[in-house]
Amino acid sequence: MNFLSVLLICLASVASGNKANKHKPWIETEYQGIVMENDNTVLLNPPLFALDKDAPLHYAGEICGFKVHNGPSGPGTVQFEAVVLDRSTGEGLVRSKEPLDCESQREHSFTIQAYDCGEGPDGVNSKKSHKATVHVRVNDVNEFSPVFVERRYEASVPESRLFERIVRVEALDADCSPQYSQICFYDIITPNVPFAIDNDGNIKNTEPLDSKRQRVHTFWVTAFDCGKNRAQADAQVVVTVKPSCKPGWIGWTKRVEYTPGSGSIPLFPSLHLETCEETVWNIQATVELQTGHIGKGCDRDSYSDRSVRRLCGAVRGEVDLLPPPSPAANWTSALPTLPSSDSSLVFSFNGSSHVAVVPDAVVSSLSGDHFTLQLWMRRGGANIQSSSQSRGSRREEETIVCSTVKNDDSFSHYSLSVHGCRLSLFYWPDVSAARPVKFLWKLEQVCDSEWHHLSLSVQFPSVTLYVDGVTFDPALIHDNGAIPNPAPRQRMSIGACWEPEEETREIFNNTVPEVKYVGGYHGLLSGVTVRPGSVEPHSVVECLYACREGLDFGDLETLGSGMKVHVNPSQSVLVLEGDDIESFNRAVQQVTYRNSLRFATPGVRPLKLTTSLRCFNEESCLSLKQLEGYLVVLQPDAPQISLSGVGPHLARPAPEFESPRGVPLFPELRIVCSLSHAVNTAAQGMEGGALMSDAVAHTLDGCEVQPLGEELNAEREELLVDMDVVRERGLEIINTTAYIAITGAESISVYEDVLRSVRYRLAKGSARFERRFRLSCSEMNGRYTSNELTLEVNFLHSLDSLYHPSHLLASQQQFLHPSHHAGELSGHTLPNPHRNSVVPGAATVIIMVCVGFLVVMVILGVFRIRSIHRRSEGSRGGAKEGGNQWDDSALTIIVNPMESYESRLGTEGEEEEEEEAPESPDEGSDDQRVIIKKEARDSNARRY
């Protein structure tokens, strides 16, 4: 102890009044320590020193010891002790009681206190310091070497390709510190191999591998930690080179045949996807069936829109706003039409001049706030976009239907419009009182340039929209701002809406000024109908768009987990999505083509298969090209529509045709539809095949009765139909002088009833001798037609009627003006009562004289034949009685001037007479045979 220390102790003793051990020892509050795994001395920062203010007093100012207390883990966890190195300076040392293991516990924490020596050598009244916290970290020693997770690694790769990673090896180190536990690098210790390994253990090939040159590559790899310790044991890597694998679809058949009536058939029964063991986590395949034979929708090649509505059970009473142009419906005659695969017309609108104004007579039947509006729509259309149509104008609102109708004492107005990809219905319940309400739908179908079926059922204030049979809810907008109300006037237009200011213009000289239209529609429309009254049921709307041909999926219950299937409403696009290659291959093989039509439309349907893959390594993910093929629908067994039970001749007295009801043309008509198909007769021991014909229940969609030759003279002749039967069945009829057409999908029995009611009537005094008609029927939009049934109508005139001046004049005209049917009737001239010509007076006198002379000669000939006939009957005696006997009860002689018809009857009479007449010398002369033949011919003429 130096002099300064003794002096301090003395001064402290004097200051304290000679009282010893007055102060407590003092140490730092926290220490940080480090100890190595192979050493027990802890290096503290700061160093361990305990100070006491009682120094330099002996004992009281000295430090006698340090005490270590338990750490935060509880009793028994203290593995350290502290010792005093110098009592006077208070220097101490912390050390571990036993060797420490960094791998078992890397950090330790405990507390420490310092004790002075008290007031004497016995440590009486010793004092202790506060507790200080000590944190000790055990430094690691590189005592462990890396160990591979697996002793052998295997992989297989296709040849002729470079891979960023074929296989990854992994080694672990048991040391606790990052320095010694991390693997700093791997190394391939086998020389001259075409592989390389990075510091993460990824092995790749440095050159394309060839399975023919070396099928299996085997080499060894080792690992080093950051302390440069090498792995205890090296790992073996085996790489198998597979022959070249071409990723893509295997088993694709470009041509698929479908036999009508087969139901559903799988399109890809043996198709599967080869990924060449590329790891993929998402697969998506899109199958597209292009049905170009269909005009719109998915089943329009079978029946027209009106026929489909009838077959779906729609309530009758719809009004066609865009009917085919005709004299009765001429407001669509100025609209251009486009060719369509079905029987319904497709009208084109250019947004400016193409507007159809529905007549007031049609609009007046559409009153009420309950109605159903249906239409087919295709925005943009085809070949109708002009170069002057700017992009900005296409964004303007385009009006499809604009209508103001009268409801009792008020007027209501509505307009259906499209704007971009939005469809809106503007509705005014009462244009003089209520404010309008706007129903708005945002639909992709409005702007995709495809055909879509819209059905809008309005039962205000409820509005329901069906697009392709799917329901969509509207958004309501009640505040429409300052909108000019349309003036109360009943009107309707298709393709645009009139300007509201037009109603305020004055009308001079009873002339209506030209109406200007705004909001023109660009696109195609078809089948626009309105049915007032109750709204269309949902089942009917679904039936209208029901697809009987398209893509389908076999059995959804067998769909694997994680697989998804989506089919669009028209069943022309099917999308498969999944993440498992095996499940995906099974799902692709269940994609089917379904056609439930009785008579499928034959032809080619192009097929496309587009595949999209997503891999974990997007850079090396597979890319598959689109596959293209086609589905061939074979020719179905054609139905045969047979018309029978009529004609070929219908002969009636002329007065019957002049009666108010006329004469029925087809009273015994029978219509039979049969299906002829080939059957296998090998089991019956017959060679080849045979045709079987089965009678089936069909639905006709039209029949036509047409006069052959000249059209009907509207002033003298007409065809009558029982309109009660037509209206009751909901059929449509077009009755003109050129033809009478009955259309609508109905059963054969209904068409038989309607056609049996067709009657032909002549006006009084209209002398004719012959008229021919042709009857034909069809089904499936005229795809299958019946045989043409030709009926020849003969008018039987009495001899007295021929002397009537009107008949004589008619006969003169007939001989002066031959009909153009002469070629059809083997050179004979037919009467033509419809042409009016001026006959010179001299020629008229000569003709009248000739006709009179002809009549006298006919009468004399008849009496002569009568006398010869009586003599021949007396000579035969027991001859058979037949139709050739003379009838004395009626002296009226029936004359038929058609030689072709008489010659046929005469030939039949000759054959019958030759069979009945016995061979005898008295009757064998040639003159007598000629007389008998004449008698037979004239007798047959009397029967008709």
Quick: pLDDT tens for 525-553.
988 988 888 777 777 777 777 778 889 98
Quick: pLDDT tens for 878-926.
433 343 333 443 334 444 444 444 444 444 444 444 444 444 334 444 4
- In this prediction, residues 420-438 reach a mean pLDDT of 84
**Beta-carbon contacts of residue 331 (< 8 Å; ≥ 6 apart):** 356, 357, 358, 359
CA dist 163 and 157 (Å) reads: 9
Quick: pLDDT tens for 469-489.
888 888 877 655 556 557 678
Outline where 229-321 has alpha helix (H): 305-311
Q: What share of the chain in percent tops pLDDT 90?
A: 20
Per-residue confidence (pLDDT) for residue 744, from 0 to 100:
84
Other C-beta atoms lying within 10 Å of the C-beta of residue 139: 17
Outline where 318-466 has alpha helix (H): 360-363, 391-394
Q: How buried is residue 579: exposed, middle or buried, by Cβ count under 10 Å (0-12/13-18/19+)?
A: middle
Per-residue confidence (pLDDT) for residue 452, from 0 to 100:
87
Residue scoring higher pLDDT (728 or 591): 591
Quick: pLDDT tens for 244-284.
777 889 999 999 999 988 889 999 999 998 887 778 888 99
* Type and span of the H or E element at 11: helix 3-15
Backbone angle region of 380, left / alpha / beta, with phi > 0 → left and psi within -120 to 50 → alpha = left
Q: What residues does 614 pair with on adjacent strands?
A: 282
Per-residue confidence (pLDDT) for residue 153, from 0 to 100:
95
CA dist 49 and 66 (Å) reads: 10
CA dist 6 and 13 (Å) reads: 11
Phi, psi for 95 (deg, rounded to 5): -145, 160
pTM above 0.75, yes or no: no
CA dist 667 and 132 (Å) reads: 126
CA 863 to chain centre: 81
CA dist 751 and 701 (Å) reads: 9
Distances (CA, A) of 207 to 80, 83, 161, 213, 240: 60, 67, 8, 13, 15
CA dist 321 and 317 (Å) reads: 13
Sign of torsion over alpha carbons 645, 650, 654, 657: positive
Q: What residues does 258 pair with on adjacent strands?
A: 633
Other C-beta atoms lying within 10 Å of the C-beta of residue 612: 13
Quick: pLDDT tens for 148-196.
999 999 998 888 889 999 999 999 988 877 777 788 889 999 999 999 9
Average pLDDT for the chain: 76
CA dist 467 and 263 (Å) reads: 27
